[in-house]
Structure 1
């Protein structure tokens, strides 16, 4: 489904999402194609694949008229054919014309490659080194010749959202139209594709963006890098899903790339930057002209960096200033990737690079690089052409045909890398959910990896220690009485505690003899304590203790009383004896004094 949003006096946008159910696979005002069937999706009529069951409507004819209003003679023939085909099939659905319609003949047509927009007349790229670019850039940037930005990773949102724009430029004197696509998770949903699939650049192969995108399951796709229109050779740097497809050898053209940690990179790179393996590129493509640097238009500086031949300067200025179809890639402040495409035809309609840069800046883009444009500029939604190709078809030049190109920028559903999560997990919404014992983005690393030290081997179940060692990190010797891998075996020696911790042998070497006594004592004392702890003991009740205490106290009291009685009797006897002696002396006449 398409929803319209209008801003008074400025532009009209239509937004689409490939996840929504819809009966029109392309924009009804721009694509030139109409269908009510989703399977299989038809190619755009500009390619000549028209659904035979559905007539082309008058509204589509009007849209074509608005888009190509400057080509009245050509448009007249197109409109007549559209209305004739629509009317004929509507009133005679069962009748098949004996003479094929020109629309059906388009299936055999191909691009003439006539709308060429080349930045260089001879070899592609400047001849000077990265050092020259570094030394000649504005002082404010120091020695850094590129900009980096952390990519967003909003996993809860759709992979991307695309909008169709129709906007005024040059003070409102003309309108431009095209597509802007915002990607929420660039690292997991954006890929640089070779033409036709892996190996396409190596074979100098060219393919329609539709073909490459359909085979790769792209939600959105647009052409990317430059190529030799004669040989088909891919130009510049190309890294596709981590594979280095092509190395430019340090040619200083503006680059766009995504590193393994999700960092977005825009600008000029040295050969060392491109080949850096500490955080390698997983996607990389070369453009021409750095449009925006850190939020500011950077075209003048880019022209100095990318054109060093006086005889080619005029052609490079033409490349920058001419109206044409354009393709670019950038990012906003949130780290979302922005794919830009505008329709046009060289020298007649479209945008120059100054207008592209200002348009992107107005829409919040921070850094942006220009990609291949002109007749190469193509935008595809769900494998169907959604842009107006400027190249004429051959042999019938009344029609327009998309051009086979080289590399493609593809926005696809979130994917796991690798798709099977290394065989140790399952892919859920583009992320690997690892099985027990495994970790990492690709589930390719064991949990205990790098923790088992020099005496163990990491397995799914953890560290398996070498014979004689134990512990989570295999850094402790086996306790006495045990041996083997992870100290799992118990010694079987008679009359002695220790054995060899590695082999379990009951040898009598010096070390074991010295430790035997300590081992026996360690075994004996715990056994003795355990036996003492479990031995039955007699326990006296409180009443018993009270009886015993009273009895003992009574006995003690009886003993004390007996002692007192004996002492009293002894004292009494002594007094009695003394009295008797005194009396005896008195009777004898002896004075007692």
Structure 2
């Protein structure tokens, strides 16, 4: 009679492998971790006195506009082919009005909130999702004059915003995050690609973000002139709106006068909040549910 051999070590190893894999997945995608800034630009300060000095007389607010002594914003709804998109034209008296915020006010991994929640917490008039830095381990992160991540994403050009509020594009393989901070960078985003540079379209009709469909909900920010900015957020992945390609997005920004424009995180992350209301139709959720906001790592706001 032949007896079957038992392999308890095999099942033990399988169990340990499953536990290790589960730990790695939880550590990567679920467990929140907080980190501190690496360095801060000493010349950039945001104090209560500065904020108080920026407070203006009573604002004039309508459904699609905001105006006070320091800032004018108009939001329009436009259509191209089979897609609805939203254009925010922003003019401010000081670059201090352009700010960023982290989910729960904390830099780290797996720390997320909806764009509308962050907008409310920071009393934002206009807010959009940022570059979702927490989805990656590389790519420079400078926010409000503090350096948080100095690991380059060498295949990605970064958007740099300096102390005067001017936009520029840098190749992360050619300059360090520390150098950018010393040169006065207040914000650095790593997502891309660059859509418009030197007033010319910088993407091809075939170019696309990795693992992305050609037509998508999109979020992009551009500079038109001194303290004059434009934000575009498009709907997509719905019966009413297919979405935009990167080239279509760049065409819109270039046609509206953007000298530099940059693509931010899109898809289910794309969200615009104006005067406390979500303007677009986000498509987040496990099944891409229409009207459902995705929780993200960060926002850009005015």
Counterpart CA distance in 1 for 2:116 and 2:167 is 26
Are 1:295 and 2:199 counterparts? yes
Residue pairs, 1:414-429, within 5 angstroms = none
Structure with the higher strand share, 1 or 2: 2
Aligned partner of 1:285 in structure 2 is 189
Q: Which digits, 9 at most, give the CA deviation of each residue in 1:144-175, with x for residues without a partner?
A: xxxxxxxxxxxx85424132222233xxxx34
Counterpart CA distance in 1 for 2:283 and 2:127 is 18
2:96 counterpart SS class: helix
Counterpart CA distance in 2 for 1:398 and 1:188 is 36
Aligned partner of 2:156 in structure 1 is 253
2:110 counterpart SS class: coil
Aligned partner of 2:98 in structure 1 is 190
Distance 1:350-1:240 versus aligned 2 partners, 3 A rule = same
Counterpart CA distance in 2 for 1:238 and 1:186 is 23
Counterpart CA distance in 1 for 2:286 and 2:83 is 25
Gaps of 5+ in 2: 1-57
Structure 2 residue aligned with 1:370, among 243, 263, 267? 263
Residue pairs, 1:1-16, within 5 angstroms = none
Counterpart CA distance in 1 for 2:290 and 2:153 is 40
Structure 2 residue aligned with 1:355, among 248, 259, 274? 248
8 Å CA contact 1:164–1:180 kept in 2: the answer is yes
Counterpart CA distance in 1 for 2:182 and 2:290 is 50
1:272 counterpart SS class: coil
Shift in Å, 1:364: 0.7
1:299 counterpart SS class: coil
Deviates more, 1:156-165 or 1:242-251: 156-165
Residue pairs, 1:194-209, within 5 angstroms = 194-197=102-105, 199=106, 201-209=107-115
**How well do the aligned residues superpose, as a CA RMSD in angstroms?**
3.3
Distance 1:340-1:266 versus aligned 2 partners, 3 A rule = farther
Q: Which digits, 9 at most, give the CA deviation of each residue in 1:194-214, with x for residues without a partner?
A: 1221x2x32430110111111
Structure 1 residue aligned with 2:223, among 331, 350, 358? 331
Q: Which digits, 9 at most, give the CA deviation of each residue in 1:291-317, with x for residues without a partner?
A: 1111111114995xxxxxxxxxxx857
Aligned partner of 1:379 in structure 2 is 272
Structure with more contact order per residue of length (Cα contacts < 8 Å, sep ≥ 6): 2
Aligned partner of 2:84 in structure 1 is 176
Structure 2 residue aligned with 1:405, among 279, 284, 296? 296
Aligned partner of 2:60 in structure 1 is 20
Distance 1:301-1:284 versus aligned 2 partners, 3 A rule = farther
Distance 1:408-1:222 versus aligned 2 partners, 3 A rule = same
Q: Which digits, 9 at most, give the CA deviation of each residue in 1:398-447, with x for residues without a partner?
A: 76310001121011xxxxxxxxxxxxxxxxxxxxxxxxxxxxxxxxxxxx
Counterpart CA distance in 1 for 2:94 and 2:157 is 19
Aligned partner of 2:42 in structure 1 is none
8 Å CA contact 1:323–1:346 kept in 2: the answer is no
Residue pairs, 1:488-499, within 5 angstroms = none
2:188 counterpart SS class: strand
Are 1:272 and 2:175 counterparts? yes
State the number of aligned residues.
242
Shift in Å, 1:250: 5.1
Residue pairs, 1:191-590, within 5 angstroms = 191-197=99-105, 199=106, 201-227=107-133, 232=135, 236-249=139-152, 251-270=154-173, 272-276=175-179, 277-300=181-204, 316=209, 319=212, 322-334=214-226, 336-345=228-237, 349-392=242-285, 400-411=291-302
8 Å CA contact 2:128–2:273 kept in 1: the answer is yes
Aligned partner of 1:161 in structure 2 is 73
Runs of 4+ in structure 1 deviating by more than 6 angstroms, as ranges, are none
Shift in Å, 1:235: 5.3
Counterpart CA distance in 1 for 2:138 and 2:176 is 18
Structure with the higher helix share, 1 or 2: 1
* TM-score when normalising by structure 1: 0.37
User: In terms of Rg, which structure is larger?
Assistant: 1
Counterpart CA distance in 2 for 1:227 and 1:214 is 21
Counterpart CA distance in 2 for 1:359 and 1:235 is 30
1:196 counterpart SS class: helix
Counterpart CA distance in 1 for 2:157 and 2:238 is 22
Distance 1:260-1:21 versus aligned 2 partners, 3 A rule = closer
Gaps of 5+ in 1: 1-17, 28-155, 304-314, 412-593
